[in-house]
Amino acid sequence: MERLTIPATERSPEVDFDFAGGRLSIRGESYPEDAAALFGPLFAALDRFLAASPGPAIRFDFELIYFNSSSAKALMNMFQMLEKAAEGGRAVTVNWIFAPEDETMREFGEDFSEDLSHVRFHLVATPPDGG
Amino acid sequence: MASGKPPDFNLFGAEEKVLAAAEGLERRVADGPEELRADVRALVEAYRRAVREQRRLVKVSDRLQGQLGTVNQELAKRTAEAEEALARLRDAQEQLVQTEKLASLGALVGGVAHEINTPVGIALSCASHLSDATAAIHRLFAADDIGVDDFQRYMDTAADTARLILANCERAAALIRSFKQVAVDRTTSERRRFDLAATIGATLDSLGPGLRQAGHTVTVACPAELMMESYPGALGQVLTNLVMNSVVHGYDQGVAGRLSIRVDQPDPVTVRLVYADDGKGIPDEYRARVFDPFFTTRRGSGGTGLGLHIAHTLVRGSLGGTLTVDSAPGRGTTFTLVMPVTAEERLSPG
């Protein structure tokens, strides 16, 4: 599958879905005016990618500084898709990356991981620009 | 508030009740067909997840509103700080304007002294000449050597010198009256009824020595008996600052300028005063900034950058009018002052 990259805007995150390498990431801030316009294409691509079975192992990095309610719902939907794929035998790792002092973002990571039992979910506190 | 809330309050109480009921249903169908049990289990699980998601979404939403509240508070604080800084800046500016006004009043006094010197000097030399002639005729009279011709000459001298003394003393008195009015207007900032042409005249008189020395001439075209109910001190200050701006910036040393003031009335309640010089003009890059406070191209040589700013402030404030500039390099500079004949009474005129 072709790599899907979307540059960040003021209100939407940078997206890099490298399907061939099994490395996907969403970084930045997410409070788009039209959540469907942003997430619709991502869900469609992710759906097709996860449907291919057996697929490569997946590493998905979420490094969000800020997101609104629609984005939160979209993230939960995305986690559900990943959980299903993991349940179906796909090796899925999610890295929830946040700034060490950002307690709220850590808590959201913890909350989101509640529903995941097959996905390997890591909370990663990373200083800014720390890689 | 927390104290008024029942201790067992649960935001998701209703959802939990539905969930308990669903779990009860799951147990009730435990003996049913496997397909039914699996469907009910899936439904219950989906509902459980939906409630968890709802809790998370409420949390996300609360966080966002909390952040918005914090940002709003910060914004209000910053706005208050900015307003305070602006108020302080305005105070400082006001003080500078007062200082500048006093400084120009000082210059005015210098001009007055110079202007009054001429008629007083003439009166003095006439009086001295009359005194000498009187002493001479007195000597002739005492020696009983006085002729009709001598007496006739003395009478002519006395008449001439007395006329000159009277005329020059009247001139000096008129100048003092007009300067007194200018000085009072400048310092008290009171609104009063005045003749526009006379105020323009008195202002130009106070600037006269400086203008004449540099060889500049001013022509005035103002309708007679145009009475205004406004702030003559502010108007005089504006004219002074415009003229000084021309003299300082408009002409190189030795170049005699032609300045003009034309007054007309576009309508009965409005006065338009067009002040123009034929000097060097204002470069394009400066024109938009000439009314900005502290904008000067002459800071090194004593410019404060306040002259035109004060003029603009007085026109906008006291006179209740507008002051616009039109200029191009080499084509002179024109300021157009449009103001109401009757200015609004101000509690604290600028």
Residue B108, domain member (yes or no): no
Tell me, yes or no, if B64 comes closer than 8 A to chain A by beta carbon.
yes
Give B90's pLDDT tier (boundaries 50, 70, 90). Answer: confident
Higher-confidence residue of B178 and B334: namely: B334
d(CA A21, CA A58): 8
pTM of the full structure = 0.53
Average pLDDT over residues B7-27: 86
Give B135's pLDDT tier (boundaries 50, 70, 90). Answer: very high
Average pLDDT over residues B261-290: 90
Residue B68 and residue B204 share a domain = no
Q: At B21, list the tokens.
A: 């009921």
pLDDT of B302: 55
Q: At B181, list the tokens.
A: 């009015």
Asked if B234 and B349 count as a contact pair (C-beta separation under 8 A), the reply is yes
Q: What is the CATH number of the domain that holds B255?
A: 3.30.565.10
Q: Any idea which residue has 């390997």 for tokens?
A: A120
β-sheet bridge partners, residue A4: A17
d(CA B14, CA B72): 34
Residue B249 has pLDDT above 80, yes or no: yes
Tell which residue, B328, B235, B345, B349, has the closest CA to residue B276.
B328
Give B304's pLDDT tier (boundaries 50, 70, 90). Answer: low
d(CA B225, CA B215): 29
Please say which residue of B61, B77, B93 terminates a domain.
Answer: B77
Please name the amino acid found at residue A102.
D
Measured in residues, chain B has a length of 350
Higher-confidence residue of B188 and B94: namely: B94
The chain A residue lying nearest B65, using CA atoms, is A68
Residue B318, domain member (yes or no): yes
Residue A44 has pLDDT above 90, yes or no: yes
d(CA B278, CA B291): 20
DSSP H/E element including A121: strand A120-125
DSSP H/E element including A65: strand A58-67
d(CA A43, CA A30): 16
Please say which residue of B77, B94, B125 terminates a domain.
Answer: B77
Q: pLDDT for A113-127, tens place per residue?
A: 998 999 999 999 987
Residue B327, domain member (yes or no): yes
Residues 14-53 in B contacting A (C-alpha not used; CB under 8 Å): 49, 52-53
Asked if B274 and B323 count as a contact pair (C-beta separation under 8 A), the reply is no
Residue B171 has pLDDT above 50, yes or no: yes
The chain B residue lying nearest A115, using CA atoms, is B49
Residue B130, domain member (yes or no): no
Residue B244, domain member (yes or no): yes
Closest CA–CA distance from residue B1 to any residue of chain A (Å)? 24
Contacts of A69 in chain B (CB under 8 A): 57, 60-61, 64
Residue A128 has pLDDT above 70, yes or no: no
CB-CB under 8 Å, B56 with A69: no
Residue B208 and residue B341 share a domain = yes
Contacts of B49 in chain A (CB under 8 A): 80, 115
Give B71's pLDDT tier (boundaries 50, 70, 90). Answer: very high
Question: What does the domain layout of chain A look like in residue ranges?
Answer: 4-125
Contacts of A114 in chain B (CB under 8 A): 52
Average pLDDT over residues B31-56: 91
Tell me, yes or no, if B71 comes closer than 8 A to chain A by beta carbon.
no
Residue A38 has pLDDT above 70, yes or no: yes
Residue B185, domain member (yes or no): no
CB-CB under 8 Å, B56 with A76: yes
The 3-state secondary structure of chain B, one letter per residue: CHHHCCCCCCCCHHHHHHHHHHHHHHHHCCCCCHHHHHHHHHHHHHHHHHHHHHHHHHHHHHHHHHHHHHHHHHHHHHHHHHHHHHHHHHHHHHHHHHHHHHHHHHHHHHHHHHHHHHHHHHHHHHHHHHHHHHHHHHHHHHCCCCCHHHHHHHHHHHHHHHHHHHHHHHHHHHHHHHHHHHHHHHHHCCCEEEEHHHHHHHHHHHHHHHHHHHCCEEEEECCCCCEEEECHHHHHHHHHHHHHHHHHHHCCCCCCCEEEEEEEEEECCEEEEEEEECCCCCCHHHHCCCCCCCCCCCHHHCCCCCHHHHHHHHHHCCCCCEEEEEECCCCCEEEEEEEECECCCCCCCC
**Which of B56, B62, B70, B71 would best serve as a mutation to test chain A binding (most A beta carbons within 10 A)?**
B56
Q: At B249, list the tokens.
A: 């910036």
pLDDT of B3: 53
CB-CB under 8 Å, B57 with A72: yes
**Which of A31, A64, A76, A84 would best serve as a mutation to test chain B binding (most B beta carbons within 10 A)?**
A76
Asked if A84 and A48 count as a contact pair (C-beta separation under 8 A), the reply is no
Please provide the average confidence, as pLDDT, over all residues in chain B.
86
Q: How many helices (H) and strands (E) does chain A have?
A: 3, 6
Asked if B339 and B311 count as a contact pair (C-beta separation under 8 A), the reply is no
Residue B208 has pLDDT above 80, yes or no: no
**Which of A69, A76, A102 would best serve as a mutation to test chain B binding (most B beta carbons within 10 A)?**
A69
Number of domains forming the structure of chain B: 2
Give B303's pLDDT tier (boundaries 50, 70, 90). Answer: low
Instruction: Tell whether domain A4-125 is in CATH 1.10.1740.
Output: no
Residue B2 has pLDDT above 60, yes or no: no
pLDDT of A47: 92
Of B52, B57, B63, the CB nearest to A104: B63
Residue B28 structural domain = 13-77
Strand B270-277 vs strand B258-267: parallel, antiparallel, or unpaired?
A: antiparallel
Closest CA–CA distance from residue A69 to any residue of chain B (Å)? 6
CB-CB under 8 Å, A76 with B64: no
Asked if B157 and B130 count as a contact pair (C-beta separation under 8 A), the reply is yes
Q: pLDDT for A47-88, tens place per residue?
A: 999 987 667 899 999 999 999 999 999 999 999 999 999 998
Please say which residue of B57, B77, B97 terminates a domain.
Answer: B77
CB-CB under 8 Å, A72 with B60: yes
Q: pLDDT for A96-115, tens place per residue?
A: 999 999 998 999 999 999 98
Contacts of A108 in chain B (CB under 8 A): 56, 59-60
Closest CA–CA distance from residue A11 to any residue of chain B (Å)? 14
Residue B177, domain member (yes or no): no
Tell me, yes or no, if B163 comes closer than 8 A to chain A by beta carbon.
no
pLDDT of B195: 93
**Which of A111, A116, A117 would best serve as a mutation to test chain B binding (most B beta carbons within 10 A)?**
A111
Residue B207, domain member (yes or no): yes
Contacts of B59 in chain A (CB under 8 A): 108, 111
